[in-house]
Amino acid sequence: MMTRIAAVLAATWLLGGCSPSTVRLMPTPTLFTGGDPGLFMGEADADRDTTLEILYATNRLPAGPPEAPNYTRERGEQLRFGVATLRVGDGTKTWESLREMSTSAVEGERPEITLESMREMAVLEESVEAPGPDAAAFFAHVDELLGRGGYQDILVYVHGANTNFERAAAQAAQFQHFLGRDAVVMVFAWPSAGSMLRYRRDVATARRTEPTFARLLEQLSAHTQAAHVNVLAYSAGAMIASPGLARAADAAGSAAGEDSLRLGEVYYAAPDIDFPVFVDNLPRYEDQVRRVTGALNMSDRALSFAQWFNRVSRAGRPNLADIGPDETRWLVAASGRDELDVLSIRPDELPDLPATSHAFWYDHPWVSSDILLKLRFHAPPRARGLDPNSTEIALAFWTFPADYAEQLPAVARALAAGKDP
């Protein structure tokens, strides 16, 4: 019994996002270490500072008024929308110093990202399909943000387990910063307990949150002018995103075509979801998205614990023995098409990446660079400078070449110019 408790403690600490509550600015993506590659665009420098504004959607119950909500870990049936303001640093950092830190390989302690304020703008009741005046005003605000610059997509970030609202918002704000200040980023803050001891509860909550996430995708596609709705799901966030995407696609209907939900890139970073469930969901929504990417580290220690806890392999550390021959054949065929990319993270091939890393997508500057290029330009793996590979059964996957850092400037310039690298 004590062994199981100790393992649960270790697993929940590793899976929680999976670290202490403080969120610091991620290591500078390699894409930026030679200077600003042109992604810091949109507003003039004079209008910028160290604050970041992101959107949020949540099914957490609030414990405060709309102008200063304090979202709890309890799940509600309503979908709540609002705006969160965060700050990079302690208030003494200037925009110039932040940009210098964000466009160079300068080492040293990264500044904290802290939540300064929240403002709830709308509440959508479970039984109401059409948005009321408040929800309509929120979606109009989204369209106003989309109209600021050239980037016309919405990125929805779905966090992992053991994550409170503040941490989830800070993680999402990283992408509002590095995608460019004209990016529109929304965090879907589902009611994780935010505790190392509550992984079991978080798993149950994530599974019950699937319908709410599907509804969010439907609302964004129906009531905003976004060119695409992109989804980035980390760890246990895949337990919500994968079935939620499938549910939304089922509701849209296969006859509606690819543009009905306007789904763009779907990126699963170290997905902590039952591998058979993940594979079963994929065919239900593959026709509705531009591309699905699964980034996985087969030495991921957190997902090793999650596999033991859930008694089945995880999509981020899959075992083909857990699915049947028909599913395996479908997966092999899908990996050879444009709709599904498997990105194998090999720690021995990425400089300074811990072998058992679960947060590689965030902590390693090569992987974060690749995510930014994928989201910004909708570029396939080869155009992003990755190398093709395949397994003995012809399952296609992609890896980082040894000279990725040297190739990256030319790759980024070509993508920005709309050319094939």
pLDDT tens column, 155-202: 999 999 999 999 999 999 999 899 888 899 999 999 998 876 789 999
Confidence tier at 17 by pLDDT (50, 70, 90): very low
| Res 96: pLDDT | 84
Confidence tier at 329 by pLDDT (50, 70, 90): very high
- Give yes or no for residue 55 having a pLDDT over 60: yes
Confidence tier at 42 by pLDDT (50, 70, 90): very low
The answer for 215, left when phi > 0, alpha when psi is -120 to 50, beta otherwise, is: alpha
| Res 255: pLDDT | 44
> What is the pLDDT of the chain when averaged over all its residues?
89
Which pTM does this prediction carry?
0.93
Higher pLDDT, 109 or 224: 224
The set of residues, in sequence order, having a beta carbon less than 8 Å from that of 107 and lying 6+ positions away, is none
Closest listed residue to residue 50, CA positions, set 105, 109, 103, 96: 96
Confidence tier at 19 by pLDDT (50, 70, 90): very low
| Res 100: pLDDT | 83
- Give yes or no for residue 134 having a pLDDT over 90: yes
Angle at 186 between CA 180 and CA 192, to 5 degrees: 130
| Res 348: pLDDT | 94
Most confident of the ranges 100-109, 126-135, 140-149: 140-149
Task: For residues 238-256, give the mean pLDDT.
Answer: 88
pLDDT digits (tens, 9 = 90+) for 385-417: 999 999 999 999 999 999 999 999 999 989 988
Confidence tier at 46 by pLDDT (50, 70, 90): very low
- Give yes or no for residue 10 having a pLDDT over 60: no
- Give yes or no for residue 39 having a pLDDT over 70: no
DSSP 107-171: -SPPPBEEEEEEEEEEEE-TT--S--HHHHHHHHHHHHHHTTSS---EEEEE--SS--HHHHHHH
The set of residues, in sequence order, having a beta carbon less than 8 Å from that of 40 and lying 6+ positions away, is 99, 102, 103, 180, 181
Angle between helices 275-285 and 238-252 in degrees, nearest 10: 30
Distance CA 126, CA 145 (A): 26
| Res 397: pLDDT | 97
CA 270 to chain centre: 10
Sign of the torsion angle spanned by Cα atoms 132, 122, 186, 128? negative
Residue 87 token pair: 């700050």
Task: For residues 200-227, give the mean pLDDT.
Answer: 95
- Give yes or no for residue 234 having a pLDDT over 60: yes
Alpha helices in 156-300 (DSSP H): 165-178, 199-223, 238-252, 275-285
Token look-up 């507003």 returns 43
Backbone angles phi, psi at 270, to 5 degrees: 50, 55
Higher pLDDT, 259 or 131: 131
Sign of the torsion angle spanned by Cα atoms 309, 310, 316, 319? positive
pLDDT digits (tens, 9 = 90+) for 283-326: 999 999 999 999 999 999 999 999 999 999 999 999 999 999 99
| Res 97: pLDDT | 86
Most confident of the ranges 7-16, 95-104, 210-219, 253-262: 210-219
DSSP class of 274: B
Residue 301, helix vs strand vs coil: helix
For the chain, give the number of residues: 421
| Res 3: pLDDT | 47
- Give yes or no for residue 153 having a pLDDT over 80: yes
CA of 376: how far to CAs of 139, 174, 233, in Å?
A: 22, 14, 17
Residue 65 token pair: 């008024």
